[in-house]
Amino acid sequence: MSSFARSAVTAVLGPTNTGKTHLAVERMCGHSSGMIGFPLRLLAREVYDRVVAMKGERQVALITGEERIIPPDARYFLCTAESMPIDRDVAFVALDEAQLGADPERGHVFTDRLLRARGREETMILGSASLKPLVRTLVPEAEVIERPRFSTLSYAGAKKLSRLPKRSAIVAFSAEEVYAVAEAIRRMRGGAAVVMGALSPRTRNAQVAMFQAGEVDYLVATDAIGMGLNMDVAHVAFASLTKFDGRRTRRLTVPEMAQIAGRAGRHQRDGTFGGLVEDGPGAFTPEEVFAIEDHRFAPLDFLYWREGQPDVSSVDALIASLERKPTEIVLRAAPEALDLAVLKRLSNEHVVLNRARSPAGVAKLWAACGIPDFQKLGVEPHSRFVARVFTHLTEGNGHIPFAWFASEIARLDTVAGDVETIAGRIAATRTWAYIAHRAGWLADPLEAQARARALEERLSDALHDRLTQRFVDKRTTALLRTIGADHRHLPVTIGEQGEVSVEEHEIGRLDGFRFTVVADARATDKRLLLAAAEKRLAGELGKRGAALAEAPDADLSVDAGAILWRGAEVARLGTGQRLTRPAILIDRALDCLDKPVRERVAARLARWITDRTRKLTPALARLDALADDTSAPPELRAVAIALAEAGGLADRATVPDVERIDPRARRYLRDLGITVGTLDLFDPRLTRPAPARWRAALLAARGRTTALPQEGATVVTGGAPFAGFRRIGTQQVRLDLVERIARAAHDARGQGENGARRPFAPDPALATSIGVTPDTLAKLMVRLGFRAVKGDAPGWVWQGRPKLVSPKKAEPPRRDNAFAVLAGFGTLRG
């Protein structure tokens, strides 16, 4: 402690994990007031939470571009370097990661704070040991204290993603690369947390919390983790060693590599680092490894500088002061930053210059130019936005219209979309949060800040959910932790609906004997999920096999040729020797059962098929017996065979042998339940719903698809031919009703005088009650052997038994071909 009393300015230098930031926080809290500037909003927020825990919310302030929490009694200020109110009088000031003064983009900010930010009683400069010669030159009064790393950092060589140890952080240098690596980790190892500088603190904290809690074992991040973010990382793997620095793609410097690699290990725990490849540009050189392990880096020989208190007397004076060259030999003029580029672009606009004639106007213009381009729009689009903001600040009451602010917040207020879409909305929200926190820019800043903060929180929560959904597979993570254990102890459960879960994470469904992986599982995950299920489900499948072999009839059904047990397919009907004896094709999912159990299952299903056939279609079983009866007349056996193959419903024209059977044989068929009708042979029971469905299933087993009408239908208009119906004109009429109409017509003709040749008029009431139209009835009467007559006594005249025509030949001749046309010519010529 005495070493700090000898100097008002102290430079504490050293590699990562030396406790520099922790020391600065402790020193600040020992003073009556203090301020620390950090390189990242995330880091400022992390330390803010720590100091609040020590000092209470009323004494601690957080100041960043997009967030300002400044209680009236605040005495301790945690800020980003750009947002440090260096004109505020505080006892203690510290600047973290001061070596960032060598960064081309933001370096001039850190250099300015190093030169001008001072505490009333104590100032600390924290940074890499490479900063030492520049501190001696620029701040000669500073006392330099070098601190060693608490733990050892060593090179572990190159490891493939699939072989990385747990508690690893994989560092990439673009959002696209981060997402690609996270997706690969999800597929191979169950998932990863994602951390990028562009994330809001809320999203970042939620992602890190998953990693810290052990919900995932891997972290994929940008180089933002190199700036002091504290996480329990054992190994840092570099996905590549090149990055785009805003101007060009270049290889990381050795200090940059060390800054990132140094996140491995924490306090007294050693850490390792390495790459993902052994050769090529993504591999470390021996010299780089040596320098990182021994913390030996070339000292910095310059820092970037830009005037920290520019001249705002005029726009030209402002530009000139910002482009002024430094006088110190170890300082170098900073490259043109975005704010200066925007200022130069707007200095060519007459409207802007007219509004910036006074120092106050120039100060407002320069403040507007400082709006960060969070959305990475580029100089031209960002300049147009800045110009609009400046215009509002210099007209009317000098405030940005709240309606514009509110409409933009409302436009962004939706959580729909993927990771990239929501991240883009958060970037846009940060712009409006920045505006809301600028003093005097809005008439009601508190309301604006509340809206921006609430929106960022909603979007942050949604982004965390999307990142978790996209890059974390909790099922796979749980399986990876248990797959190597004894399968008897795997925490696999089966729900009432067949859902299969591991540690409460659903991995699939068990329908009957078939295990199906969840639909959202990737192809590479399915093998793992299937392996876990097979280990645990063997016993359950055995129990189900035994239950199926003894299944009651109520548990079995047929649908579209599939035999279902409790709604799950276990077999299919195939072509057998007879329609009533279909083959039973056991589903391959039952191959998991022992052979004796499968044989018992096959026997049970065969018995069920036989029982169902006898119960629902008794005539079909008796027709089979008749066909096999060698003592029966050959004509009768032929009819039985044809009718059995047709499934008990056949057009009379397709069974010519029926004309040759005698009355005794007809009576025998009637005893079987077969109606030998005028136009059809059929079993009326097969027109009922349940027998009709069973007949359709038996026919489907032989590849013959039959359509069934709506239950209870007697007449159908149009459509595909239905089983048990006869098409007559535009209608289809059920076979038993066709026969009823036919018998009524024959009964009516027998009541005429002098035989049946006199015209008669059948009672249309029967046809009408069924739903048969007059046109359909007329066509049916013709098919039944009647002829319509006109005159004084119109009606129908019996012509004799109708000539039966095969259904294929019954179709009317086509009239749209060349042969029909030629035939017409012949008719005319005759």
pLDDT tens readout for residues 282-316: 899 999 999 999 888 889 999 999 999 999 999 99
- pLDDT given at position 340: 96
SS3 601: helix
**What is the reported pLDDT for 790?**
79
| Contacting residues for 61 by C-beta, under 8 A, at least 6 apart | 68, 69, 70, 71, 74, 76, 77, 78
Polymer length in residues for the chain: 830
Q: Which two tokens stand for residue 718?
A: 């149009």
Contacts of 630 (CB under 8 A, 6+ apart): none
770: left (phi over 0), alpha (psi -120 to 50) or beta: alpha
Are both 2-146 and 153-294 of the same fold?
A: yes
CATH architecture of 153-294: 3-Layer(aba) Sandwich (3.40)
The residues near 172 (Cβ < 8 Å, ≥ 6 apart) are 178, 180, 181, 220, 221, 222, 239, 240
Residue whose entry in the numeric block shows the structure tokens 């210059």: 353
pLDDT at 825: 37
* Helix-strand-coil split of the chain, %, nearest 5: 45, 20, 35
Q: Tokens 């009326």 belong to which residue?
A: 684
Written as one letter, the residue type at 446 is L
672 within 8 A of 545, measured Cβ to Cβ: no
3-class secondary structure, 420 = helix
CA-CA distances (angstroms) from residue 43 to 172, 549, 687?
A: 19, 66, 79
Helix, strand or coil for residue 725? strand
Tally Cβ neighbours within 10 Å of residue 801. Answer: 10
Task: Check: CB of residue 221 under 8 Å from CB of residue 171.
Answer: yes
Place of tokens 């056991």: 586
Distance of alpha carbon 514 from alpha carbon 725, whole angstroms: 39
Q: Please give the Cα distance from 490 to 501 (Å, whole number).
A: 10
Domains of the chain, by residue range, sit at: 2-146, 153-294, 338-471, 474-549, 731-798
pTM: predicted TM-score of the whole model, two decimal places = 0.60
Give the right CATH number for 2-146 from 3.20.20.70, 3.10.300.10, 3.40.50.1820, 3.40.50.300. 3.40.50.300
pLDDT at 58: 96
The predicted structure's pLDDT at residue 112:
96
Cβ-contact 176, 41 below 8 angstroms = no
C-alpha to C-alpha distance for 532 and 464, rounded to whole angstroms: 29
Please state, as a whole number, how many other Cβ atoms lie within 10 Å of the Cβ of residue 249.
9
Residue 566 CB neighbours (<10 A): 16
Say which amino acid occupies 4: F
Q: Report which residue type is found at 692.
A: A
Question: Which pLDDT does position 5 carry in this prediction?
Answer: 39
Residue 393: how many CB atoms within 10 A of its CB?
20
- Which H, E and C letters describe 181-216, residue by residue? HHHHHHHHHCECEEECCCCCHHHHHHHHHHHHCCCC
CB contact burial 128-150 (16+ within 10 A = b; e otherwise): bbbbbebbeebbeebebbebebb
Distance CA 493, CA 485 (A): 16
What is the pairing mode between strands 168-171 and 235-238?
parallel
> For residue 97, how many other CB atoms are within 10 A of its CB?
24
Query: Cβ distance 38 to 97 under 8 Å?
Result: yes
784 contacts 796 by C-beta, under 8 angstroms? no
Residue that the structure tokens 């294929």 belong to: 808
pLDDT at 503: 57
Kind plus residue range of the DSSP H or E element containing 154 = strand 153-155
| Residues in the chain, pLDDT under 70 | 1-7, 227-230, 267, 473-492, 496-498, 502-507, 519-536, 750-757, 792-793, 802-830
CA pair distance 344, 337, nearest whole angstrom: 11
Give me the residues paired with residue 716 across strands. 732
Backbone conformation region of residue 785, classed left if phi is above 0, alpha if psi is from -120 to 50, else beta: left
Query: What DSSP string describes 233-274?
Result: BSEEEES-SEEE-SS-EEEPPHHHHHHHHTTBSBTTB-EEEE
Residues 435 and 425: their CA atoms lie apart, in Å, by 16
